[in-house]
Every structure is written in structure tokens, then in C-alpha cells.
């Protein structure tokens, strides 16, 4: 911690970040109320909302400037920059500037703060669980009226597109969507005499885990799976697999018997059988051969393939195991336009999104990042089909989409859900907590928060 | 610290000087061992960072650990430099740190002087409020600060980055404690000779408080340089961002991080602070110990 009052280093502690997220989430939800209190805006455009500073390079001066807020860094950030650059050079009316923040959470914080200070971008990336909150507080532009003959609902993968539709009106189009896959070390499976595939059920996973855990691999004692405590979408999937859910509408069901059974399975794997552990960094542990399996986003397939290659083993991938029922979550991001941006810029922002949905761009984006091809054109494009032919693992995520489900409403709309679920899984893994007690505590908080937004939800969504 | 080690021999049971000397030596060997262990704990991560920045990619992830790079490569630095406009960020960091820490120290010195030497109504309550500010975690004020800076029209400016951090409760507190410990006679003599407040501050208080002021200044500089969350929030464009944000650009949002360029970038970011700290750390120890012990 800093000796001064401000947090100083890169290492923002989980607790304070969580607390901040909670505050930011609350603010996002309460913006319409606060907006009436007349925060002075420095803005020139609609309703006192101003555009952030833009600094176009000399060759792009004098165009309509579009601000695009992104949370992607590293490889994905470069891939997006390449496409946006191409757009800027492809025409002479619009200049798009990408302004980058730290991941989806960092972007959500920034956007919440920006709405308070009445300075907003024109187009932004929203994660699968953040766009709903901005929709509920009335900050997302309906996209139907912006659609054209060549860019519309038909452009996108049906199931992915439907996730962004509320009462027939699209607010959020898929761009950088993902779904988790089960990754395994083929070397380890072969040495343990296991078949060369992902386990089909969670019981099989547990059985195999007990056979693998404790084996020697490159001088280390192996474990079956490295768990992450920072993401709750696997838990969302596990709940479905056990016939549970986080909520039915806004009625919280995360403390039901089915949900407790799902949580008990995870707890028992980590604390009774000790075939898994809460890892600092699951990818690193996996590619270094400390664990036999992980579940992770399809977006990490490229990185894991490279990492496994460098480490000298072959990467296997498969569908997530199931139990009583199938069902995998989808995640990742999509694009939305800010309702309070200037109308002329909103129209320009729609053109940018349309450009990114063109076959060439959508296909390149999928191949460069490893995200799902989100448009029909991208899925059938030569570079995507060629990639799948070279490495069939890339096709798995697309096939698995048939089992995909939209997150439960609580996860989408109740701000505290994700934080509560992360807390629950961390308690299960590290404290060996009683599943019923941990889920009960989470459910109580979620129920209270669900009531706060029930009126808005009933009016706009249900 | 000095008082405890100084008083311990006198409370020991009386014994002849020779065994006592031996005992002391044994203790110091144990102490050396302890110090070495602690030193390694602190230095190892630094060594790992520096060595990873210069190692070929494969050796970073190799198990068992490859402690010494087989060859020195500069590839990671080239990649980091290519991915992030570090030059622009360096200039920004320099400006923000210089302006921010200078103003911060100035403000801390003046307010500490007021708390230590001036009589004004409500002084105790105001000082309590300053102490209270020490207890408030930075994240709580993040959103409020953002709105204030937004309303001032300072988002994405240098001033926007350093303004909210200018009032340093810790600096004020540390300097006030130090000022209170100064010999009153000197200041009384100065007053009798006709020195006003400014002259007393500049010619007497500050020269006598050099370690404390340097400590506050150094911590301010390091703090301002390393700050990440606030500058990230309050800036939008590459033209206004500072060095630590550059590291964010190197981290993968999804998938496997390339640790080589990240370590190279980290070396670039912390090297100036590391050097500064090495040159000035003795002041920090003196400054902190001075304020803590003398009261």
C-alpha cells in the first residue's frame, strides 16, 4: 500500500478493486436518477454529454471523429488497432480513435465514471455481463434503425446475435465472443493410460483426476486442474450441468438444492480429493506441466497452443464436461453505441461497426484473436475454415455453441452477482466453506440487490 | 531502534567483557544470516525481472529454473518499445512527477509549518481531519475525484493527473512531527532577531529538517511515478498517459502473457525510480526514524 492516500502500484488489491467495482456498478445503475441533479457538463453536444479528447494524426484531420473505448490489450489490442487503421484509411469522412483501458472491468469503471462526468465515447466494447447494466440505465442506443441492407440481424450468428436483443430490439452486437473449452495435456493423459479426449461428464473428470493427481511429470507432482477464482462463468456452467441456475427471472435460486450440489462437487474436488487447487495463473501452471487440465476461454487457444509447443507437449481440447444436463456459458464482448452521443457521430459509429462485421474484417478478427467467428460470413470464410482444417481445436468452440446458453438474468442485471459468485467459489476452494452457507450468504445479498432493479427490469426486459 | 539496542547491554546480567564481545559476535552472525535471508527475499524478484528481460524467450518458462541467461538478448526491449509509445509516456511521466511532487512537497511543508508553529482556532480539529484523510483508502475517492476533475474540464490533462493527489496527509503529518521536535530556542532567537515566518521556515526549519523533507519528496516522486489506477482512469489518449499504463498495453486481455516484453517494459519503467531510491535511501531511513523516535 502506498503511504499516501492514493493506491500507487499496478497491483490493485482484489478487495479494493472489488469494492470499487461495486460502487461503480451501483453508479451505473443509478445514473438516470443522479443525472437529474444537474452535474455541470463541459459538453457541446446532446444533453450535455461531451466527447473525450481526440487527437487525429495530420492525414485524418477534418473528419468526423469517433471515440472507441476498448478494454483489449496485447495481441487482441493489436488486432483491433489493425482493423480500425484499415477503416480510417478506407474512407475519408470518419476518423476512429481507440482509447484503451484495463480489461472489461476497467472499461466498465471508466464508463461509469465517464457517465458521471458526462464525457462519453461514441462506441464501446461491453462484456457479455456489463452491457445489460448500461442498457437498464438507458445508456445504449437501439441499433435496429441503424441497420442497412448489408448489415443487420442476418449478418451475425443467430444465437450470439439474440443475446444482445431485448424485446425485439438489438442493443449489443457480438464482437469478440467466446466460450470456455476444456484443455488437457495429451502427454499426461497418455502416460496415465487415459483415452485421448476430454472427460465427458464431471464424474468422469473426477475419476480421471484421482488417477492423474500425484503422478510424476517432469519432476513435479501433478494435479488434475488449476482453478481460477476470478471468473464465475465456469460456475455458471456447472450450475446448469446440475440442473441449477443463479436465478429464474430475477428470483434468486442460487441457494437451491441443485446449486448446492454443484458447489459441493467443486468443493469436494479441491478439498476432499485434492485433485485441484486455486491457481494464481492457470495458463502458466498448465503450460509448465504442473497441472493436467484447465478450462479456459477459446480466446486463449492460440496462446496455449504456443505455450504447450514451447513446453514440449501436445495440447488437447474438448467440450466442457456435463452432468445431469448440458449447457455452457458464452462470454467475451460485443459492441454498443452510447445513446447520449451526438446523433451524427452515432450514425458514423454504426458505419464503423458495420465495417467490422464485413466478412474480411470479422474473419481476420476471429483468426487473429481466437474468438468465435461472430458473423455467418466469417464462419464460412476461407481463412477461418482453413484455420480449422489445420487445427481442429479451433472448430470445437463453434460446435460447442449448440450447447451454449445465455447467462441467467441475475448474472446479467444484478450488479452484485458476479462479485458474490467469485467470493463463493474462492471460499469453496480456499476455505473449504460449506456450500449451503456460502451460497446462502450470496443469495441474501443478491435478493436485496435484485429488488432494487426489479421495477426497471419489469418495465424494460421481462 | 537506536534506543532499544543501546539500552539492552545495560540491562543484561553483569558479565566480563570478553564473553560479552563473543556473544555479540555470534548474535551478529545470526543477524547477518537473517539479513541475508531477508535481502534475498527482497532482491530475488528484482533479479528475476532483470534476468527475464534479457533472457531468450524459452528460458523464462523453463523448468527447472534457468537462473543465468545463456545469452543476453535485447529482443524483448525492441518488442516492448514497438508495442507501446514509451518515449511519449516517459515525457508525460516526467512532467507529471516533477510538477506533482514539487507541489505536493510545497503544500506539505507549508501546512506542516502551520500545524507546528502557528496558533489558529480549530487547529486540533483540522489536524484530526488531516489524520482522518490518512485512513481513507484511495479507491473510495476515485469516482468523486473523477467527477470533480471532469467538471473542471481537466480530464486527459497533466493537471488532471496530479491535482487530486496534491494534498498529502502523510507528508503533512511526518513533517509536522519533525518540526515539533526541533529545538524551540533556535526559532525563538530567530524571532527575536526579527525573522518573519517565511524566513524562519526557509533559513531555520527547513535546513534542520532536511532528512524529513527529502523523505517526503522521495516518497512523493516514487508515488507519482508509479501511480496507475488514477492516471489510467483520468486519461484517454496516448498523448496524455504515463509509463505504468504502458505496461497494461503489454498484458494480454485473454490468453497467455508474453513475459519477456512485459519484464523489459517493467525494467524501463522502474529503473529511474530504482536509481533514485538507491541514491537517496539513507535520507528516507533517517527521515522516518527521526520522526518516529524523537517524539
Q: What digits encode the pLDDT tens for the residues A16-66? A: 444 544 545 544 444 443 333 333 333 344 468 999 988 899 999 999 999
**pLDDT for the residue numbered B281:** 77
Set of chain A residues whose Cβ sits within 8 Å of the Cβ of B136: 5
Q: Are residues B224 and B277 in the same domain?
A: yes
Q: Which pairing describes strands A220-221 and A216-217: parallel, antiparallel, or unpaired?
A: antiparallel
Residues 184-223 on A with a CB inside 8 Å of B are 218-220
Set of chain B residues whose Cβ sits within 8 Å of the Cβ of A283: 255-257
Cα distances (angstroms) measured from residue B245 to each of A408, B72, B215, B230, B262: 35, 27, 26, 10, 12
Of B83, B219, B256, the CB nearest to A304: B256
**pLDDT for the residue numbered B83:** 87
Of A4, A118, A303, the CB nearest to B252: A303
Q: What digits encode the pLDDT tens for the residues A349-406? A: 999 999 999 999 999 999 988 899 999 999 999 999 999 999 999 999 999 999 999 8
Query: Does residue A14 belong to the interface with chain B, where contact is any CB pair within 8 Å?
Result: no
Task: Decide which of A395 and A8 is more confident.
Answer: A395
Do the Cβ atoms of A78 and B143 come within 8 Å? no
Query: Does residue A58 belong to the interface with chain B, where contact is any CB pair within 8 Å?
Result: no
Set of chain A residues whose Cβ sits within 8 Å of the Cβ of B250: 73-74
| Three-class DSSP category at B269 | helix
- To which residue does cell 539513507 refer? B282
Q: Are residues B33 and B171 in the same domain?
A: no
Q: Are residues B126 and B240 in the same domain?
A: yes
Set of chain B residues whose Cβ sits within 8 Å of the Cβ of A113: 142-143, 146-147, 150, 233
**Among A410-419, B87-96, B138-147, the least confident range:** B138-147
Q: Are residues B99 and B119 in the same domain?
A: yes
- Give Cβ neighbours of residue A292 (< 8 Å, ≥ 6 apart): A184, A185, A188, A189, A192, A209, A212, A217, A222, A223, A224, A225
For residue A214, is pLDDT > 70? yes
Q: Determine which of B142, B144, B255, B261 to mutate to test the interface with A (most A C-beta atoms within 10 Å).
A: B255
User: Phi, psi at residue A181, to the nearest 5°?
Assistant: -120, 165
Whether residue B64 is contained in a domain is answered as yes
Q: Which pairing describes strands A251-252 and A247-248: parallel, antiparallel, or unpaired?
A: antiparallel
Whether residue B191 is contained in a domain is answered as yes
Quote the mean pLDDT of chain B.
Answer: 85
**pLDDT for the residue numbered A357:** 97
Q: What digits encode the pLDDT tens for the residues A127-158? A: 998 999 999 999 999 999 999 999 999 999 99
**pLDDT for the residue numbered A445:** 96
Whether residue B40 is contained in a domain is answered as yes
Q: Are residues B198 and B248 in the same domain?
A: yes
Whether residue B260 is contained in a domain is answered as yes
Task: Decide which of A17 and B157 is more confident.
Answer: B157
3-state secondary structure B122-175: CHHHHHHHHHHHHHCCHHHHHHHHHHHHHHCCCCCCHHHHHHHHCCCHHHHHHH
Do the Cβ atoms of B247 and A10 come within 8 Å? yes
Quote the mean pLDDT of chain A.
Answer: 88
- Give the whole-angstrom CA distance, residue B63 versus residue A289: 9
Whether residue B157 is contained in a domain is answered as yes
Query: Does residue A40 belong to the interface with chain B, where contact is any CB pair within 8 Å?
Result: yes
In chain A, what percentage of residues exceed pLDDT 90?
A: 75
DSSP state of A71: -
User: How far does the CA of residue B144 sit from the closest CA of chain A (Å)?
Assistant: 9
Query: Does residue A30 belong to the interface with chain B, where contact is any CB pair within 8 Å?
Result: no
Q: Are residues B103 and B202 in the same domain?
A: yes
Whether residue B20 is contained in a domain is answered as no
Chains A and B form CB pairs within 8 A to the count of: 183
Q: Residue A44 is inside which H or E element, if any?
A: none
Overall number of domains in chain B = 2
Do the Cβ atoms of B255 and A74 come within 8 Å? yes
**pLDDT for the residue numbered B291:** 54
Contact A114, B233 (CB under 8 A): no
For residue B217, give the chain A residue with the closest CA: A4
Q: What digits encode the pLDDT tens for the residues A316-354? A: 999 999 999 999 999 999 999 999 999 999 999 999 999
Query: What grid cell was written down for A438?
Result: 456460502
Q: Are residues B52 and B154 in the same domain?
A: no
Q: Give the domain CATH number at B263.
A: 1.10.3720.10
Do the Cβ atoms of B254 and A97 come within 8 Å? no
- Give the whole-angstrom CA distance, residue B198 versus residue A133: 55
Whether residue B12 is contained in a domain is answered as no
Q: Are residues B171 and B286 in the same domain?
A: yes
- Give Cβ neighbours of residue A408 (< 8 Å, ≥ 6 apart): A236, A245, A246, A247, A248
User: How far does the CA of residue B244 sit from the closest CA of chain A (Å)?
Assistant: 7
Of B140, B151, B249, the CB nearest to A77: B249
Q: In which domain, by residue range, is B57 found?
A: 25-73
User: How far does the CA of residue A9 sit from the closest CA of chain B (Å)?
Assistant: 6
For residue B20, is pLDDT > 80? no
Residues 311-370 on A with a CB inside 8 Å of B are 311, 369-370
Whether residue B31 is contained in a domain is answered as yes
**pLDDT for the residue numbered B9:** 42
Set of chain A residues whose Cβ sits within 8 Å of the Cβ of B226: 8-10
**pLDDT for the residue numbered A333:** 93
Q: Are residues B36 and B125 in the same domain?
A: no
DSSP state of B12: S
User: Phi, psi at residue A124, to the nearest 5°?
Assistant: -145, 160
Q: Are residues B181 and B237 in the same domain?
A: yes
Q: Residue B85 is inside which H or E element, if any?
A: none
Of A73, A113, A297, the CB nearest to B248: A73
Q: Residue B112 is inside which H or E element, if any?
A: helix B86-117
User: How far does the CA of residue A261 sit from the closest CA of chain B (Å)?
Assistant: 30
Query: What grid cell was written down for A319?
Result: 467440450
Q: Are residues B257 and B208 in the same domain?
A: yes
Quick one: average pLDDT of A177-202?
95
Do the Cβ atoms of A4 and B249 come within 8 Å? no
For residue B138, give the chain A residue with the closest CA: A6
Residues 100-139 on A with a CB inside 8 Å of B are 100-103, 106, 109-110, 112-113, 116-119
Q: Are residues B149 and B275 in the same domain?
A: yes
**pLDDT for the residue numbered A340:** 95
Amino acid at each position: 500500500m502506498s503511504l499516501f492516500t492514493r493506491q500507487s502500484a499496478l497491483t490493485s488489491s482484489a478487495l479494493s478493486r472489488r469494492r470499487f467495482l461495486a460502487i461503480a456498478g451501483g453508479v451505473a445503475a443509478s445514473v438516470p436518477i443522479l443525472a437529474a441533479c444537474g452535474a455541470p457538463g463541459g459538453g457541446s453536444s446532446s444533453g450535455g454529454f461531451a466527447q473525450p479528447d481526440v487527437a487525429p494524426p495530420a492525414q485524418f484531420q477534418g473528419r468526423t471523429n469517433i471515440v472507441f473505448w476498448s478494454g483489449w490489450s496485447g495481441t487482441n489490442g493489436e488486432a483491433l488497432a489493425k482493423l480500425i487503421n484499415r477503416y480510417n484509411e478506407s474512407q475519408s469522412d470518419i476518423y476512429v480513435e481507440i482509447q484503451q483501458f484495463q480489461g472489461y472491468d476497467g472499461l466498465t469503471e471508466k464508463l461509469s465514471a465517464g457517465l458521471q462526468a458526462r464525457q462519453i465515447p461514441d462506441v464501446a466494447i461491453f462484456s457479455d455481463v456489463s452491457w445489460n447494466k448500461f442498457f437498464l440505465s438507458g445508456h445504449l442506443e437501439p441499433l435496429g434503425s441503424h441497420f442497412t441492407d448489408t448489415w443487420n440481424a442476418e449478418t451475425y450468428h443467430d444465437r450470439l446475435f439474440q443475446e444482445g436483443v431485448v424485446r425485439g430490439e438489438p442493443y449489443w452486437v457480438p464482437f469478440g465472443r467466446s466460450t470456455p473449452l476444456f484443455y488437457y495435456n495429451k502427454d499426461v493423459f497418455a502416460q496415465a493410460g487415459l483415452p485421448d479426449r476430454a472427460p465427458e461428464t464431471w464424474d468422469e473428470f473426477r475419476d480421471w483426476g484421482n488417477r492423474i493427481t500425484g503422478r510424476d511429470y517432469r519432476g513435479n507432482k501433478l494435479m488434475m486442474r488449476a482453478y481460477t477464482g476470478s471468473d464465475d462463468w465456469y460456475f455458471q456452467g456447472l450450475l446448469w450441468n446440475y440442473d441449477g441456475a443463479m436465478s429464474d427471472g430475477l428470483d434468486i435460486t442460487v441457494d437451491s438444492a441443485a446449486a448446492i450440489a454443484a458447489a459441493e462437487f467443486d468443493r469436494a474436488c479441491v478439498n476432499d480429493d485434492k485433485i485441484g487447487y486455486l491457481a494464481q495463473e492457470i495458463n502458466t501452471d498448465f503450460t509448465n506441466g504442473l497441472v493436467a487440465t484447465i478450462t479456459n476461454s477459446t480466446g486463449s487457444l492460440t496462446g496455449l497452443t504456443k505455450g504447450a509447443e514451447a513446453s514440449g507437449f501436445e495440447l488437447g481440447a474438448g467440450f466442457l464436461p456435463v452432468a445431469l444436463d448440458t449447457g455452457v456459458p458464452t462470454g467475451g464482448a460485443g459492441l454498443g453505441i452510447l445513446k447520449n452521443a451526438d446523433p451524427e457521430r452515432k450514425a458514423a459509429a454504426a458505419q464503423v461497426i458495420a465495417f467490422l462485421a464485413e466478412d474480411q474484417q470479422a474473419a481476420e478478427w476471429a483468426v487473429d484473436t481466437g474468438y468465435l467467428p461472430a458473423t455467418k460470413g466469417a464462419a464460412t470464410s476461407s481463412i477461418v475454415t482453413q484455420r480449422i482444417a489445420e487445427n481442429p481445436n479451433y472448430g470445437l468452440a463453434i460446435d460447442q455453441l449448440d450447447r451454449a446458453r445465455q447467462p441467467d438474468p441475475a448474472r446479467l442485471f444484478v450488479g452484485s452477482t458476479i462479485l458474490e459468485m467469485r467470493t463463493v467459489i474462492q471460499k469453496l476452494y480456499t476455505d473449504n466453506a460449506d456450500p449451503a452457507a456460502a451460497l446462502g450468504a450470496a443469495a441474501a445479498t443478491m435478493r436485496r440487490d435484485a429488488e432494487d432493479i426489479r421495477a426497471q427490469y419489469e418495465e424494460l426486459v421481462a | 531502534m537506536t534506543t532499544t539496542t543501546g539500552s539492552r547491554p545495560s540491562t543484561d546480567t553483569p558479565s566480563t567483557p570478553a564473553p560479552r564481545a563473543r556473544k555479540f559476535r555470534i548474535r551478529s552472525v545470526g543477524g547477518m544470516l537473517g539479513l541475508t535471508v531477508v535481502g534475498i527475499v527482497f532482491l530475488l524478484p528484482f533479479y528475476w525481472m532483470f534476468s527475464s528481460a534479457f533472457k531468450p524467450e524459452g528460458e523464462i518458462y523453463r523448468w527447472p529454473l534457468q537462473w543465468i541467461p545463456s545469452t543476453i538478448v535485447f529482443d524483448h526491449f525492441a518488442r516492448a518499445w514497438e508495442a507501446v509509445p514509451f518515449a511519449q509516456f516517459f515525457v508525460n511521466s516526467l512532467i507529471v512527477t516533477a510538477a506533482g511532487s514539487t507541489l505536493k512537497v510545497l503544500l506539505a511543508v507549508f501546512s506542516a509549518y502551520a500545524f507546528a508553529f502557528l496558533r489558529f482556532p480549530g487547529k486540533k480539529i483540522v489536524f484530526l481531519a488531516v489524520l482522518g484523510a490518512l485512513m481513507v483508502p484511495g479507491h473510495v475517492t476515485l469516482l468523486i475525484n473523477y467527477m470533480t476533475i471532469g467538471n473542471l474540464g481537466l480530464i486527459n490533462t497533466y493537471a488532471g493527473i496530479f491535482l487530486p493527489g496534491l494534498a498529502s496527509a502523510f507528508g503533512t503529518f511526518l513533517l509536522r512531527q519533525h518540526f515539533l521536535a526541533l529545538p524551540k530556542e533556535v526559532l525563538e532567537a530567530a524571532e527575536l532577531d526579527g525573522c518573519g515566518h517565511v524566513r524562519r521556515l526557509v533559513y531555520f526549519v527547513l535546513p534542520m529538517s532536511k532528512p524529513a523533507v527529502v523523505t517526503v519528496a522521495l516518497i512523493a516522486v516514487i508515488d507519482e511515478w508509479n501511480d496507475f489506477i488514477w492516471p489510467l482512469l483520468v486519461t484517454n489518449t496516448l498523448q496524455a498517459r504515463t509509463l505504468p499504463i504502458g505496461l497494461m498495453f503489454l498484458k494480454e486481455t485473454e490468453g497467455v502473457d508474453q513475459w519477456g516484453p512485459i519484464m523489459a517494459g517493467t525494467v524501463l519503467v522502474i529503473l529511474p525510480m530504482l536509481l533514485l531510491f538507491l541514491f537517496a535511501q539513507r535520507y528516507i531511513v533517517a527521515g522516518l526514524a527521526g520522526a518516529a523516535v524523537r517524539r
